[in-house]
Amino acid sequence: MISSFKPVARTLMGPGPSDVNPRILEALGRTTIGHLDPQFIEMMDQIKQLLQYAFQTKNELTLPVSAPGSAGMEACFVNLLEPGDKAIVCINGVFGNRMVENVTRCGATAVTVEDDWGKPVDPAKVEAALVANPDAKVLCFVHAETSTGARSDAQALASLAQKHDCLTIVDTVTSLGGVELKVDEWGLDAVYSGTQKCLSCTPGLS
Ligand SMILES: Cc1ncc(COP(=O)(O)O)c(C=O)c1O
């Protein structure tokens, strides 16, 4: 016998998914409109502007992807890496390893810079990897490692990448809206996040 799903109210205390804000739950009960409706286009424009504010960027390619954070991750990697490219990937927890998987699936080579779980990415090790790999195209790191709560210094890492003529791919799934993140001021290149952590929105959007 199938019955209607009635979840019990729980307080989510992990690093995400977080409790969804009541304003968002209320909005989910509103009517649906078509994707070509002028009101939909207006809403999309507004969402892009608000996302630019959240990410502190003026980049016009600031957009929601209707799929989870992993799709935002994949979008960044497949658009920046080609077979034969080299990427430096910082690993200090679960999601750095996920980045390596994306690099290899693009047919590129991952040079890994490893730090202990629970520790931030060490800029000195990153600089050594950049010096040793002048052909690296992208430096990839997780701003806040969800698996341990360690926050890395995104500004320092981005400035090292710039010094060595490297682009950056930055995972801000757990940091956006929770800690300082200044995409333009810090010069981050490709940045993705998710809705289900510090934004207190539903899961499923990147
Ligand atoms: C740092 C980080 N990156 C990527 C992801 C993947 O996001 P999603 O589960 O929405 O696909 C997560 C999810 O917890 C995450 O914490």
CATH of the domain at 165: 3.40.640.10
**Is the alpha carbon torsion for 78, 176, 138, 95 positive or negative?**
negative
Instruction: Report pLDDT for 114.
Output: 98
Return the structure tokens found at 60: 């016009």
Residue whose CB lies within 8 A of the most ligand 1 atoms, among 70, 89, 97, 147, for a mutation test: 70
pLDDT for 94 equals 95
d(CA 92, CA 86): 19
* Residues in the chain, total: 206
Residue 156 located in a structural domain: yes
User: Ligand 1: distance of its center to the CA of 69 in Å?
Assistant: 5
Inside any domain, residue 187:
yes
pLDDT at residue number 34:
96
Q: Is residue 61 part of a domain?
A: no
Tens of pLDDT, residue by residue over 122-163, are 999 999 999 999 999 999 999 999 999 999 999 999 999 999
153-189 pLDDT, tens digit per residue, is: 999 999 999 999 999 999 999 999 999 999 999 999 9
Domain span at residue 98? Answer: 68-192
**174 C-beta closer than 6 A to ligand 1:** yes
Whether 20 is in a domain gets the answer no
Report yes or no on 174 lying in a domain.
Answer: yes
Query: What does the pLDDT look like over 6-23, one tens digit per residue?
Result: 999 899 988 889 999 999
Beta bridge partners of 113: 90
Whether pLDDT at 54 is above 90: yes
Number of domains in the chain: 1
Is residue 128 included in any domain, yes or no? yes
Pure H helices in the chain: 22-28, 38-55, 69-80, 94-105, 123-132, 154-163, 183-186
Which atom of ligand 1 is nearest to 206's Cα? 10
Neighbour-count burial of 183, counting CB atoms closer than 10 A to its CB (0-12 exposed, 13-18 middle, 19+ buried) = buried
194 close to ligand 1 (CB < 6 Angstrom): yes
189 Cβ inside 6 Å of ligand 1: no
* CA–CA separation, 87 and 200 (whole Å): 32
**Mutual orientation of helices 69-80 and 94-105 as an angle, nearest 10°?**
40
Nearest alpha carbon to residue 93 among 15, 145, 170, 152: 145
Q: What ligand 1 atom has the least distance to the C-alpha of 68?
A: 10
- Specify if 92 maps to a domain: yes
Ligand 1 site, residue 93, Cβ cutoff 6 A: no
Would you give the DSSP letter of residue 112? E
Give residue 14's pLDDT. Answer: 86
Strands in 109-114's sheet, in edge-to-edge order, are 109-114, 86-91, 138-142, 167-171, 190-192
Distance 47 CA to ligand 1 centre (A): 21
Residue 11 counted as domain residue: no
